[in-house]
A and B are shown apart, each in its own frame.
Chain A
Amino acid sequence: MAHHIVPLKTNLITLLSLVGLTIITVLTAKFVDLGDYNLLLAMFIACIKASIVLGWFMHLKYDGMMNRTIALCGVAFLLLFVGFSYIDLFFR
């Protein structure tokens, strides 16, 4: 794997996009009333932010498939946990 050095400019753009999404999170959650959909929207934005951190700050964009797979496995097992818990909660 070639060692990819992420330039300052990319790191700055990553930071600014994360700050921008944080501002959007606060504005939509505090001042736009979507009822129960506020939670979904906030989680959707949080997932985008987490993907940006994983991709650029944690270098997964420049990394091999192995580390991507490991990270995705963590998320996949978490989703399995959430999924089955909610199936139990809704259909018991």
Chain B
Amino acid sequence: MSTAKVDRRVEHSHHFSSMEQEHEAGKQGVWLFMATEIMMFGGLFVGYFIYRFKFHDMYIAGGDSLDWTLGALNTLVLLFSSFTMAQAVTETMKGNNAKALKLVYFTTACALIFMVVKYFEYSAKIDHGLFPGFDMWNPDMEYIKSKIRDVALLNNVDPANLRLFFVLYFAMTGLHGIHIVIGVGLMIWLMKRLKNNEFSPKYYTAVEGVGLYWHIVDIIWIFLFPLMYLI
């Protein structure tokens, strides 16, 4: 059996002048990636706002048919996971790999809870014919009538247009969900490295980078939750 490769860095790579500089360069790279994330989701948000302006009542009908209590639950789960991730970075910076590992476990558990809640939400929408693809679009208008805050608004809603809301809903929450799944993959990578005690107060770039990614995923949900479920 091969022994696991352990990557405990005590000195900087040859193309950097110090560990400090290497750390700052790596972190700056993650921040550049974060800027592209803001702009990628930003494009979807711009689409959301343009069509919201054009088809206001349709958005109310679509938004009201979502279960805002599940959305709120997921918001709290993600906020808590952001806290455990931030605390994991704190513990790693103190050189406390074992404590950080536990916090990464908590973060991963929250990510999985988030995805389970999403599964129940998605399957409820699919059951009512609200998935806008694969010939599954067959909206149950009685269901939407039972959910909407003011049934009179439905007079202005063309079911064909309602589909647009659900295209945006599944595209935006789906892309966000993919980010959560990728985040879980990154957490598993961190778990392995934390178990090997690879990080120290001088070298913790990977934990901080995954932390930044996890927080940006949280920020995107902070905007998605009111726009999709509440307003």
Fill in one digit per residue for A25-59: 1 if any B CB lies within 8 Å of its CB, else 0: 11001100000001100110110011001101111
Q: How far is A73 from B37 in the complex, measured between Cα atoms in Å?
A: 12
Which residues of chain A are near B85, meaning CB under 8 Å? 57
- Residue ID in chain A nearest B220 by CB atoms: A50
Asked if B110 is at the interface of the complex by the 8 Å CB criterion, the answer is: no
Determine the distance from Cα of A42 to Cα of B201 in the docked complex, in whole angstroms.
39
Also in contact, A5 and B93, with CB within 8 A (given A22-B79, A71-B34, A85-B46):
yes
C-alpha spacing A26/B39, complex, angstroms: 26
Q: Whole-angstrom distance from the CB of B217 to the nearest CB of chain A?
A: 10
Q: Which residues of B contact A46 (CB under 8 A)?
A: 222-223, 226
A26, B43: Cβ atoms closer than 8 Å: no
Which residues of B34-62 have CB atoms within 8 Å of chain A's CB atoms? 34-39, 42-43, 45-46, 49-50, 53
The distance in angstroms between the C-alpha atoms of A6 and B219, with both chains bound, is 19
A29→B229 CA distance, assembly (Å): 10
Residues of B within 8 A of A91 (CB): none
Give the distance in Å from the alpha carbon of A22 to the alpha carbon of B222 in the complex: 9
What is the bound-complex CA distance between A3 and B212, given in angstroms? 16
- CB-CB under 8 A from A39, the residues of chain B are 231
A14 and B24 within 8 A (CB): no
> Number of residues in A with C-beta < 8 Å to the partner?
46
**Interchain CB contact under 8 A, B219 and A78:** no
Q: Which of A15, A19, A67 contacts B27 (CB 8 A)?
A: A67
Q: Are A7 and B223 in contact (CB under 8 A)?
A: no
Q: Does B28 contact A (CB under 8 A)?
A: yes
Max chain B Cβ within 10 angstroms of own Cβ: one of A6, A50, A54, A89? A50
Residues of B within 8 A of A73 (CB): 35
CB distance from A26 to the nearest CB of B (A): 6
| Residues A50-79 near B (CB distance < 8 A) | 50, 53-54, 56-59, 64, 66-67, 70-71, 73-75, 77-78
Q: A22-B79, A66-B28, A71-B34 are in contact. Are A29 and B219 (CB under 8 A)?
A: no
Q: Which residue of B lies closest to A90 (CB)?
A: B53
The 8 A CB mask of B158-196 against A (1 = contact, 0 = none) is: 000000000000000000000000000000000000000
- Seen from chain A, the residues whose Cβ lies within 8 Å of a Cβ on chain B are 1, 3, 5-8, 11-12, 14-15, 18-19, 22, 25-26, 29-30, 38-39, 42-43, 45-46, 49-50, 53-54, 56-59, 64, 66-67, 70-71, 73-75, 77-78, 81-82, 85-86, 89
Interface residues of B (CB under 8 A from A): 20, 24, 27-28, 31-32, 34-39, 42-43, 45-46, 49-50, 53, 68, 72, 75-76, 79-80, 82-83, 85-87, 89-90, 93-94, 201, 208, 211-212, 215-216, 218-219, 222-223, 225-227, 230-231
Excluding A64-B24, A67-B31, 9 further A-B contacts by CB distance (< 8 Å) are A11-B86, A12-B83, A14-B86, A25-B226, A46-B222, A46-B226, A57-B82, A74-B35, A78-B42
